[in-house]
Amino acid sequence: MFPHLADELWAMKLGLKLLHERAKLGSFWWPYISNLPQTYTLPIFFPGEDIKNLQYAPILHQVNKRCRFLLDFEQQVKRALVGLTPDKHPFGGQEVDASSLGWAMSAVSSRAFKLHGNKQSNGIDFDIPMMLPLIDMCNHSFNPNARIVQEQETGSTKIRVKVVAEKVIKEDDPLLLCYGCLSNDLFLLDYGFMIQSNPYDCIELKYDGALLDAASMAAGVSSPNFSTPAPWQQLILSQLNLAGESPNLKVSLGGQEIIEGRLLAALRVLLASDMETVQKHDLNTLKSLDAEAPLGVANDIAVFRTLIALCVIALEHFPTKLVDDETLLKQGASGSTELAIQFRIQKKSVIIDVMRNLSRKVKLLSSKETVTAEG
């Protein structure tokens, strides 16, 4: 499936083709287009209150970005259509506004597949989104029973796309494809649903020295210096792209890594006092959660306690508590309100799972520290 709208213009190019065929009398594609959903459950169609109900800044930013894109694109399309006679109007004289463009973009994001087009001059395949009738009825699973295969006909520019079974599929069983190892942000933004206990879901945070100082102090870590790193620590932060001219300050908790490697390495380095000990290890070791206390047990305990405190702060940024959300669902929330509540429940669950995981690590490390002290 089209994993996410990295380029809205590409999506709208296919979306405009979809609107053109929908408006064309006798279109070959009409039987397919007429069976597409008339409405979508994507957040760009949520009422304002339910957009707020998502309670998660990164997805609010993406929803607002897409809404702004649609409004701007609407104006571009209207300017391009000014003065066209009915016989030259690509949409049969029908008005194209943000609503119809939103429908088209939603149809593309939730149903299109990225397939190989012609090769580029460097020999790399050029991926383009395509609508594939019937195949787009397959649902998602992280444990799919089928996959998409694209074949080029010998001596022809034509391609054949088919769904191939990966395992025995019983009669009446659904065909399941993997849309991608995506977070719930992308599933909701592009498909209008989310996955409970999604192993690839995570939360995004901004790397902020003052915030980390506050988290460290709350965790009982003495004299944190995230806001004022030493020059040698600043150099390592630059190597992690967390400092410098154009840093990437977006870090994540959860997902397959549990703690993004760059964040983990930064905390290990900034909570270390001995430059020589740090320099004995490469960045890949410092970024690895599997690396067993590379800078010492006490260092990792301080790092994990700081991260737990950071999780607590992240939870406190949500206006509602998890128990409140679960009560609202039991009371019968429906439609976009239900989706918004379920989304923020999953985000809070990610944070809680990270805290539990780190708490187990702190307990294990503390027991090792005790044994070492007694020895």
What does each of the 375 residues of the chain score in pLDDT, given as a tens digit? Answer: 444 444 677 788 899 999 999 999 899 999 999 999 999 999 999 999 999 999 999 999 999 999 999 999 999 999 999 988 888 899 988 889 999 999 999 999 899 888 766 665 666 666 778 889 999 999 999 999 999 998 877 777 778 889 999 999 999 999 999 999 999 999 999 999 999 999 999 999 999 999 999 999 999 987 778 999 999 999 999 999 999 999 999 999 999 999 999 999 999 999 998 899 999 999 999 999 999 899 999 999 999 999 999 999 999 999 999 999 999 999 988 899 999 999 999 999 999 999 999 999 999 999 876 655 545
Separation of alpha carbons 257 and 350, rounded Å: 12
Query: Looking at domain 8-191, which CATH architecture does it have?
Result: Alpha-Beta Complex (3.90)
Q: Which residues pair with 127 in a beta bridge?
A: 116
Please report the sign of the dihedral spanned by the C-alpha atoms of residue 11, residue 12, residue 13, residue 14: positive
Residue 326 contacts residue 346 (beta carbons within 8 Å): no
Q: For the chain, percent helix, then strand, then coil, each to nearest 5? A: 50, 10, 40
Residue 189 contacts residue 1 (beta carbons within 8 Å): no
- Is domain 202-374 in CATH 3.90.1420.10, yes or no? yes
The pLDDT of residue 127: 73
Domain chopping of the chain, boundaries: 8-191, 202-374
- Angle at alpha carbon of residue 269, lines to 266 and 271, rounded to 5°: 105
CA 165 to chain centre: 28
The pLDDT of residue 371: 56
DSSP helix/strand/coil, 174? coil
Neighbours of 250 (CB within 10 A): 12
